[in-house]
Amino acid sequence: MIYSRITGTGSYLPEQVLTNHDLEKIVETSDEWIRERTGIGQRHVVGPEETTCDLAEQAARSALAAAGRRPEDIDLIIVGTTTPDQVFPSTACLLQQRLGVHNGCAAFDVQAVCTGFVYALGVANQFIRAGSARCALVVGAETISRILDWNDRGTCVLFGDGAGAVVLEASETPGILSTHLHADGRYESLLSVPRGIGKGYAQMVAGEAYLQMKGNEVFKWAVNTLGRIVEETLEANGIEQSQVDWLIPHQANIRIIQATARKLKMPMEKVIVTVEQHGNTSAASVPLALDAAVRDGRIKRGDLVLMEAFGGGFTWGSALLHF
């Protein structure tokens, strides 16, 4: 049997920090209001010249260094992103060029919004288990600040920019035990950016392609769905919640994270939380949280880690793995 295992993690956050007090000068809100409802204290946002690929490159180089790998070792690149640099080439191809990976390996983007990294990890795992790749670079990177309406306090306070990456390699011992990927397009109106090449292109060019969200409905769906995906994952692997060392949830909102933990009867001490410092970084949030916990020593080799995410579409997914 061929398995896949994470051998290195990396992350990158833009230098510019936007605190809740900064937002008080932009929109009618307050630090207290934001913290009480979301748990967010600050978020990082890109500068005028920074791109998603810029963030992805830094996170990728960090992950490669942690894995002790060089760019030429990579034979698959997958980037989960909702905010690509351009329509095409894909951000993954741009990243391939930046890193100097000239071996002709496959490189492509996955668009599953906040579930993008989990989707990308699931796809890379299948490539490796099928023998089609041996050393994959999997990245979640976003510049969500570019698609926010900074007059809408219900959305602009929630999101931030960043990138996280892992090197996933073929292994004789199990790393990723299972991945579970789902979607239901019936709920697109609850969380979307309703503009694009085929729909409202003129408005998109004019800068009106903003993220729109019906927060209460999304909250209810997220809590119930994340609870179910975790139960599905545990059942598929025949393990109990108590056997999981760490839960890494999508960092959308502290209330969703806490509600999911309560539903699973999992103590918050076993949940990796970075939403206070990062906000919701969409596809980047899970790998950012993973890298933070690996580098501060909480997650150690052999730990059983459960990742889960929920995003627009709706999309949702999970991955259970031995780190």
The residues annotated with a catalytic role in the active site are 114, 250, 280
**Joined tokens for residue 99:** 């890193």
Q: Are 230 and 178 in contact (CB under 8 A)?
A: no
The DSSP secondary structure of 236-283, one letter per residue, reads: HHT--GGG-SEEEE--S-HHHHHHHHHHTT--GGGB---HHHH-B-GG
What residues have CB less than 8 Å from 310, skipping those under 6 apart?
A: 114, 115, 221, 222, 225, 226, 250, 252, 316
The set of residues, in sequence order, having a beta carbon less than 8 Å from that of 93 and lying 6+ positions away, is: 107, 108
Instruction: Kindly write down the DSSP assignment for every residue of 75-139, as one continuous string.
Output: -EEEEE-SS-SSSSS-HHHHHHHHHT--S--EEEEE--GGGHHHHHHHHHHHHHHTTS-SEEEEE
Tokens of 244: 């999981």
d(CA 102, CA 240): 44
Q: What are phi and psi of 6, to 5 degrees?
A: -75, 125
Distance CA 124, CA 137 (A): 8
User: Residue written as tokens 């490669």?
Assistant: 64
Q: Are 176 and 233 in contact (CB under 8 A)?
A: no
